Chains A and B, each alone.
Chain A
Amino acid sequence: MAAIGLENIRHAYGPDPKRPADYALKSVHHTFEDGGAYALLGPSGCGKTTLLNIMSGLVTPSSGRLLFDGRDVTGLSTEARNIAQVFQFPVVYDTMTVYDNLAFPLRNRRLPEAEVDRRVRETLALIDLEDRAHRKAHGLTADQKQKISLGRGLVRNDVAAILFDEPLTVIDPHMKWLLRSQLKLLHKRFGHTMVYVTHDQTEALTFADTVVVMYEGEIVQIGTPDELFARPKHTFVGYFIGSPGMNVLPVALDGARARIGAAEIALPGAPGPVEGRIELGIRPEFVRVGREGLPVAVSKVEDVGRHKVVRATLEGRPIAALIGEDEDVPAEPRVRFEPAGINLYVDAWRVELGS
């Protein structure tokens, strides 16, 4: 188990990168603490899998250093780094039995057979496949195969970290939940450093203690699920996390007041002197629909079960609000923003509001 340090990692797949857009990763600088459960969250193509493969050694970064507990491993092979990785599609060695699959990484490292047997049995119990130990891996279901992939990592009890690359993509929905909770249990019990790549916010928020949100090759925010929800540092985080995402409205500033068209919104505090494109972000959860506030035109109300999503336009801008299941939208509806939920963005990055 190790802390993984990324020092100014940059990577481009093409030869001779010039513009920033040529880079799949633009200067990533971060440390994954020993024993942490992290999620790398971002849309497809944001560089999260590239970053994962750099950590496991499948990809060598164009520049920057990779440190395991302070030791430079940038030039080391995947095997020497002692990393475990679970892929999107389950990888099992078809012709081997489940037992042999788990023994494979140990036998490759020439461990004595008695030790192999002890560890494989332990791991079989962990992943709940003891009864299938001597079956061929070929006929198993996707979730069992994925457990074997994980097991091949767990069986080496000295792995530096376990990396997951969207491991639940091909798993049935009802198994996803189960596997995810088993994963959390394993993490609690053994304290491996785990990094989990996904584009699914539910997976990221339920699995990880710390979520790293990536966007266009950069880390835009690192935080707990709560922080990402309450104080998104970038407008992208705002609308990528949450369902529906954060409302982002372009506004003009006037001291501690924001103006959108003819409507005026009181801010909880005044920002310092700012320049650039100014936007106000507020999550639908903090938009109150009622008889007072700013007039809106409601276009649609979607009942999604526990609550309803109100789609409306405010001064020509689309806006979403959440209301309770039993609440109704009044005639001539108006909206009010709860001050606690208001964030202000300059050129897409969040600025603090002095109070």
Chain B
Amino acid sequence: MEKSWNNRAWFMVLPVLVLVAFSAVVPLMTVVNYSVQDTFGNNEFFWAGTEWFEELLASDRFWEAMGRNLVFSLVILAIEVPLGIFIALNMPRKGIGVSVCLVLMALPLLVPWNVVGTIWQVFGRVDIGLLGHTLEAIGIDYNYVSDPIDAWITVVLMDVWHWTSLVVLLCYAGLVSIPDAYYQAARIDGASRWAVFRYIQLPKMNRVLLIAVLLRFMDSFMIYTEPFVVTGGGPGNSTTFLSIDLVKMAVGQFDLGPAAAMSLVYFLIILLLSWVFYTVMTNRGVER
């Protein structure tokens, strides 16, 4: 059939364009707009140029929050990925145990973020919380409200509890796709347990693991709700991540200009990291 060109066909794309414009482009432009202006209320705005950006990039507060974010992401990745692989390897492959394990694994993923926060906030309390009270009873000094280390441990534990399941489920999906013949061949070749993991199971999990790492990195880098509910960013600024700082700035202090500049920088960082991950992943695909 002959293809015919008609520029009016572009109108077909219009609804989506309008939708995206109102849901993404317009709000983003508003933020850009705020980031280069100063306001003292009364809807009066003054041109500020790149002042907010300069101030932001020079501020310790921003870099400290960014540092905390990176450390947090790396810590939870270092725990969740190996732990997730370990659990997936030890999950049953057939029988009733499969559905039991899958349901247990899926449960934390089904709990809303703020509820997860509340659960751990109560769980860790020294006066009534199961964890906090028990630790105190056996003589361990634990208080996430006053001790920064305890606060970090609580937030990290909470994230591990909440999200390791995702890594487990992805890895498990990779593992069950391995035909029995591979394991049989490995037994015949005299492969050790480690060799089976290294040369059969890990290569099969490779792709899903990359997705898991990407998702967990992005998600943990944008974490807000759970630490906000549990520690509110404290004690001091010890658990103040970028997102928490941002909300403090925009809603708490009503510094719209600096907050807008920070949102943009934050957005660009995440965009950049996503792009890096995406490129690495697709390059690996080409290599294969």
Is the CB–CB distance between A95 and B203 below 8 Å? Answer: yes
Q: Name which residue of chain A comes closest to B182, CB basis.
A: A91
Is the CB–CB distance between A152 and B184 below 8 Å? Answer: no
Contacts of B187 in A (CB 8 A): 57-58, 77-79
Is the CB–CB distance between B181 and A93 below 8 Å? Answer: no
CA distance A94 to B188 in the complex (A): 17
Residues of B within 8 A of A (CB): 179, 181-182, 184-185, 187-192, 195, 199-200, 203, 288
CA distance A108 to B195 in the complex (A): 9
A91-B182, A95-B199 known; A83-B188 Cβ under 8 A: yes
- Chain A residues 1 to 32 lying within 8 A of chain B, measured CB to CB, are none
Contacts of A153 in B (CB 8 A): 188
Residue of A56, A89, A93 contacting most chain B CB atoms (<10 Å): A93
Q: Give 17 CB contacts A-B under 8 Å.
A: A77-B187, A78-B187, A79-B190, A84-B188, A85-B185, A85-B188, A87-B184, A88-B181, A89-B179, A91-B181, A91-B185, A93-B199, A93-B200, A108-B195, A139-B288, A152-B185, A152-B189
Contacts of A93 in B (CB 8 A): 199-200, 203
Contacts of A105 in B (CB 8 A): 188-190
Q: Residue A149 at the B interface, CB < 8 A?
A: yes
- Chain A nearest CB: distance from B191 CB in Å? 6
Residue of B189, B190, B200 contacting most chain A CB atoms (<10 Å): B189
CA distance A107 to B184 in the complex (A): 18
Is the CB–CB distance between A104 and B189 below 8 Å? Answer: yes
Contacts of A56 in B (CB 8 A): 184, 188
- Chain A nearest CB: distance from B199 CB in Å? 5
Is the CB–CB distance between B199 and A149 below 8 Å? Answer: no
Contacts of A142 in B (CB 8 A): none
Q: Name which residue of chain B comes closest to A136, CB basis.
A: B288
Interface residues on A, range: 20 to 34
CA distance A91 to B179 in the complex (A): 9
- Of B179, B182, B192, B288, the residue contacting A138 (CB under 8 A) is B288
Is the CB–CB distance between B188 and A79 below 8 Å? Answer: yes
Q: Residue A306 at the B interface, CB < 8 A?
A: no
Interface of chain A, main secondary structure: mixed
- Chain A nearest CB: distance from B254 CB in Å? 55
Contacts of A104 in B (CB 8 A): 189, 191, 195, 199
- Chain A nearest CB: distance from B44 CB in Å? 63
Contacts of A84 in B (CB 8 A): 188
CA distance A79 to B192 in the complex (A): 11
Q: Residue A300 at the B interface, CB < 8 A?
A: no
Q: Name which residue of chain A comes closest to B200, CB basis.
A: A93
Is the CB–CB distance between A89 and B181 below 8 Å? Answer: yes
Contacts of A89 in B (CB 8 A): 179, 181
A104-B191, A138-B288 known; A85-B203 Cβ under 8 A: no
Contacts of A139 in B (CB 8 A): 288
Contacts of A58 in B (CB 8 A): 184, 187-188
Q: Residue A96 at the B interface, CB < 8 A?
A: yes
Is the CB–CB distance between A108 and B191 below 8 Å? Answer: yes
Contacts of A53 in B (CB 8 A): 184
Contacts of A189 in B (CB 8 A): none
Q: Name which residue of chain A comes closest to B206, CB basis.
A: A95
Is the CB–CB distance between B199 and A96 below 8 Å? Answer: yes
Q: Residue A174 at the B interface, CB < 8 A?
A: no
- Chain A residues 143 to 172 lying within 8 A of chain B, measured CB to CB, are 149, 152-153
- Of A83, A108, A149, the residue contacting B192 (CB under 8 A) is A108
Q: Name which residue of chain B comes closest to A57, CB basis.
A: B187
Is the CB–CB distance between B191 and A87 below 8 Å? Answer: no
A85-B184, A89-B181 known; A108-B199 Cβ under 8 A: no
Q: Residue A118 at the B interface, CB < 8 A?
A: no
- Chain A nearest CB: distance from B178 CB in Å? 10
Contacts of B184 in A (CB 8 A): 53, 56, 58, 78, 85, 87, 91
Residue of B182, B190, B199 contacting most chain A CB atoms (<10 Å): B190
Contacts of B185 in A (CB 8 A): 85, 87, 91, 149, 152
Is the CB–CB distance between A87 and B181 below 8 Å? Answer: yes
Instruction: Encode contact with B along A94-122: 1 for CB under 8 Å, 0 otherwise.
Output: 11100000001100110000000000000
Q: Name which residue of chain B comes closest to A84, CB basis.
A: B188
- Chain A nearest CB: distance from B179 CB in Å? 6
- Chain B nearest CB: distance from A92 CB in Å? 9
